[in-house]
């Protein structure tokens, strides 16, 4: 009789342990599921903010591309094709510098909080770091060097030419200046800077990052 009671107690005890173990396992799995869901939601929110930053940057880069392309083409037309129209507006085609702006709010937040690993797509994470670290460094260097050229050479040259309150030159004076080799060199140097600036506008890289993010977001919404 005592033996039956002991066996019954052991079975009951083992059953209780099994139930508790299963309960702990289920709770642990639910906790992992909730944590994974929170992490996934955080990643999705971060990806959307990264995409927003890149969309803003793309708009800015395209605007700069149009500006530098238009002004370089105009200067080329004046210097090499002999087009003498709009010489009074030469200041507007020359007095332009490349200014780098940071559009990396979300990337910086992830970087300085040590949360870059929140981006689970290894390829995307690598390309984000490459663009914002190496690409931005190159862009800032071009911007700073061009600024130095504009402030310390180009503007000094332009300040020597009389100009009215609307920043228009006397076209006769500009026509004379176009016979000056030193002035021609100044104009062509600015044209070369415009070309360098265009190379610094990595629109293709921005578009590539945007495409990866969009695909990643779509993949996560489907799961």
- Is residue 118 classed exposed, middle or buried when 0-12, 13-18 and 19+ CB atoms within 10 A define those classes? middle
**Tell me, what's the pLDDT at 11?**
67
pLDDT at 49 over 60: yes
d(CA 157, CA 186): 8
- Per-chain mean pLDDT for the chain: 90
Instruction: Name the band, by pLDDT with cuts 50, 70 and 90, for residue 6.
Output: low
**Residues 53 and 104 sit within 8 Å (Cβ to Cβ):** yes
Torsion-angle region of 170 (φ positive above 0: left; ψ -120 to 50: alpha; else: beta): beta
- Over the stretch 68-82, which tens digit does the pLDDT of each residue have? 999 999 999 999 999
**Tell me, what's the pLDDT at 18?**
73
Of the two residues 109 and 5, the one the predictor is more confident about is 109
- Residue 13: φ, ψ to 5°: -60, -45
* Cα dihedral sign, 102-108-109-112: negative
Instruction: Name the band, by pLDDT with cuts 50, 70 and 90, for residue 155.
Output: very high
In DSSP terms, which residues pair with 169 in a beta bridge? 163
**Tell me, what's the pLDDT at 152?**
95
- Residue 105: φ, ψ to 5°: -55, -50
Per-residue pLDDT, averaged over 99-123, amounts to 95
Residue 132 is classified by DSSP as: I
**Tell me, what's the pLDDT at 1?**
54
pLDDT at 136 over 60: yes
Q: What is the pTM of this model?
A: 0.83
pLDDT at 201 over 90: yes
What are the Cα distances from residue 28, in Å, to 18, 21, 23, 25?
A: 15, 10, 8, 5
Instruction: Name the band, by pLDDT with cuts 50, 70 and 90, for residue 60.
Output: very high
Q: What is the dihedral of CA 211, 55, 135, 151, to 10 degrees?
A: 160
Task: Quote the tokens at residue 9.
Answer: 């107690």
**134-161 as b/e, with b when 16 or more CB fall inside 10 Å?**
ebbeebeebbeebeebbeeebeebbeee
d(CA 137, CA 148): 17
- Over the stretch 160-183, which tens digit does the pLDDT of each residue have? 999 999 999 999 999 999 999 999
């Amino acid at each position: 009789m005592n033996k039956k009671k002991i066996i019954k107690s052991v079975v009951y005890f083992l059953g209780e342990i099994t139930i508790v173990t299963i309960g702990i396992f289920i709770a642990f799995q639910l906790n992992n599921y909730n944590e994974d869901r929170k992490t996934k939601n955080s990643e999705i929110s971060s990806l959307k903010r990264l995409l927003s930053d890149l969309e803003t940057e793309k708009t800015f880069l395209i605007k700069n591309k149009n500006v530098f392309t238009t002004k370089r083409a105009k200067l080329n037309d004046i210097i090499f094709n002999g087009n003498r129209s709009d010489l009074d507006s030469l200041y507007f085609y020359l007095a332009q510098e490349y200014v780098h702006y940071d559009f990396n709010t979300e990337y910086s937040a992830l970087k300085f909080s040590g949360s870059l690993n929140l981006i689970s797509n290894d390829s995307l994470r690598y390309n984000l770091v490459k663009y914002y670290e190496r690409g931005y460094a190159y862009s800032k260097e071009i911007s700073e060097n061009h600024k130095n050229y504009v402030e310390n050479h180009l503007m000094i040259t332009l300040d020597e030419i009389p100009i009215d309150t609307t920043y228009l030159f006397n076209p006769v004076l500009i026509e004379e200046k176009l016979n000056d080799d030193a002035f021609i060199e100044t104009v062509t140097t600015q044209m070369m800077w415009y070309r360098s600036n265009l190379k610094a506008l990595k629109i293709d890289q921005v578009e590539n990052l945007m495409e990866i993010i969009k695909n990643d977001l779509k993949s996560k919404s489907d799961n």
